[in-house]
Amino acid sequence: MKDRYVVDTNVLIAASAVDLSSPLYEDATPSDPELREKTRTWLLDFKDGNSRLVLDGQEGILDEYKKKLRHGDLGRQVVLHKMSVGAVDLVHVDYDKDGHGVLDEPLASVIHDLADRKMVAAAVDAIFMHQKCTVAFAGDTDWHDWEAALQTCKVLLEPIIEEWSRQKHAEKQMR
């Protein structure tokens, strides 16, 4: 694992959806229990390792986590654990009037998912402050669309279920 991560909400959801009793179980992506388990394993390694969680001081990322996950969900518990042990780096994210993260070019033209803009902005500021940051993702293939632009801005990506996400991304491109 790398040192510093912005963790996309889909990682927390997929890892939490391993639990059959979770309300997330029915709709989480990916639906494959083995892929969810792989995501869960990554998240538990992240929790117990020396890696740091990157959050914005404006709490936009944390608010998204709170909206999508219940307090008892594994994903929320990992975030709370990282906070309780002081393994969180707070960065600055500017938000527009609609509550979306503000990005400079070339990223502003590339990152079309408005909800993910805050994640990218947090990673960019973490790089400015700490030289290195990785965005971890699982069930969202948009990150592959943005990979080249993110690399030019030194944002690293860690697709936790890469074979699956690249296949889904390729299928999406064929449509």
* Alpha-carbon span 53 to 3, nearest angstrom: 9
Q: What is the predicted pLDDT for the residue at 26?
A: 86
Distance of CA 131 to the CA centre of its chain: 19
Give one DSSP letter per residue of 110-140, joined into a string: H---HHHHHHHHHHHHHHHHHS--EEEESS-
Distance of CA 88 to the CA centre of its chain: 14
Structure tokens belonging to residue 128: 């400015």
Structure-token match 């993110």, residue found: 150
Nearest to 43 by CA among 8, 89, 68: 8
pTM: 0.95
Confidence band, pLDDT 50/70/90 cuts, at residue 87: very high
Arithmetic mean of pLDDT over the chain: 95
Of 144 and 2, the one with more pLDDT: 144
Range of 60's domain?
Answer: 4-174
Check whether 1 has a pLDDT greater than 60. Answer: no
Tens of pLDDT, residue by residue over 95-118, are: 999 999 999 999 999 999 999 999
Distances in Å between the Cα of 124 and the Cα atoms of 40, 79, 88, 132, 133 are: 26, 20, 16, 9, 8
Check whether 85 has a pLDDT greater than 90. Answer: yes
The tally of domains found in the chain comes to: 1
Q: What is the predicted pLDDT for the residue at 2?
A: 60
What average pLDDT does this structure show over 143-148?
96
What residue spans of the chain are helical by DSSP H? Answer: 9-16, 33-48, 60-68, 74-84, 107-110, 114-130, 142-152, 162-174
Q: What is the predicted pLDDT for the residue at 73?
A: 95
Confidence band, pLDDT 50/70/90 cuts, at residue 128: very high
Q: What is the predicted pLDDT for the residue at 46?
A: 97
